[in-house]
């Protein structure tokens, strides 16, 4: 018997968390259809939410935890601890899948990670693409030209990260960081000998917004790229 736990931190995500949870529910159902004895739990950590995020989440069959940390690292850590404790399955056979509340995962997201787990992976680094509807045409074209299918760069994204529970514990778990908690964790997991697989087979789609929930997260990266790609051309000398 195996278990999969999905951990989703959320801070004021009333506009987007519904579509996130719909996609996660579809991925969980697909995984259960294929692996009938799979134990699955979804945990949403409501971190200092001042909008109607909690109300949106109540519509779904998920576990919820409310904290007031304003720290994505703390939210992921609390969620992972709750998720693992809620399943009565060996840590070696339990998988922790992480995503974000502004992200949509594909139907095969969980099954793909479980396949890699079965093949010996302890840690999966998945790819993320922005919602092109949020970007300019030039920015979207630039993204497509610099991300070739089948050639994942191995970047670390908390929105598409999976880890075996035993390795998660050995690496000390997610640290209480307000940003880059995912990068710090992957470094720690590599240090304890985690078998790492990089994949873009089932990438997730995250919002293309330029104002995110952490100071230096994916939104900040998109903002920098947008400023460079869509900057007006420099005038020719003497023009």
pLDDT of residue 138: 81
pLDDT of residue 236: 43
Confidence label for 115 from pLDDT (cuts 50, 70 and 90): very high
pLDDT of residue 234: 42
Inform me whether the pLDDT recorded for 36 exceeds 80: yes
Query: What's the 3-state SS for the chain?
Result: CCEEEEEEEECCCCCCHHHHHHHHHHHHHHHHHHCCCCEEEEEEEEECCCCCHHHHHCCCCCEEEEECCCCHHHHHHHHHHHHHHCCCCCHHHEEEEECCCCEECCCCHHHHHHHHHHCCCCEEEEEEEECHHHCCHHHHHHHHHHCCCCCCCCCCCCCCEEEEHHHHHHCCCCCCCCCCHHHHHHHHHHHCCCCEEEEEEEEEEECCCCCCCCCCCHHHHHHHHHHHHCCCCCCCCCC
**95-124 mean pLDDT:** 98
pLDDT of residue 142: 78
CATH of domain 3-229: 3.90.550.10
pLDDT of residue 238: 46
- Percentage of the residues of the chain whose pLDDT score is greater than 70: 87
pLDDT of residue 70: 95
Read off the pLDDT of residues 37-74 as tens digits, 9 standing for 90 and up.
999 999 999 999 999 999 999 999 999 999 999 999 99
């Amino acid at each position: 018997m195996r278990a999969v736990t999905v951990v989703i931190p959320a801070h004021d995500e009333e506009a987007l968390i519904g579509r996130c949870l719909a996609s996660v529910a579809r991925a969980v159902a697909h995984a259960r259809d294929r692996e009938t004895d799979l134990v699955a739990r979804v945990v949403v950590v409501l971190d200092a939410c001042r909008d109607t995020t909690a109300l949106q989440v109540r519509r779904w069959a998920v576990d919820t935890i409310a904290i007031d940390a304003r720290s994505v690292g703390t939210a992921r850590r609390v969620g992972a601890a709750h998720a693992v404790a809620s399943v009565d399955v060996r840590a070696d056979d339990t998988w922790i899948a992480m995503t974000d509340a502004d992200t949509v995962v594909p139907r095969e997201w969980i099954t793909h990670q479980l396949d890699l787990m079965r093949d010996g992976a302890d840690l999966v680094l998945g790819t993320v693409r922005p919602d092109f509807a949020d970007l300019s045409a030039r920015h979207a074209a630039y993204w497509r030209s610099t991300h070739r299918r089948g050639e994942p760069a191995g970047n670390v994204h908390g929105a598409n990260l999976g880890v075996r529970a035993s390795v998660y514990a050995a690496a000390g778990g997610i640290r209480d960081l307000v940003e880059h908690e995912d990068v710090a964790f992957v470094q720690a997991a590599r240090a304890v000998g985690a078998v790492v697989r990089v994949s873009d087979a089932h990438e997730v789609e995250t919002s293309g917004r330029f104002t995110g929930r952490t100071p230096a997260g994916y939104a900040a990266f998109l903002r920098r790229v947008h400023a460079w790609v869509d900057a007006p051309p420099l005038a020719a000398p003497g023009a």
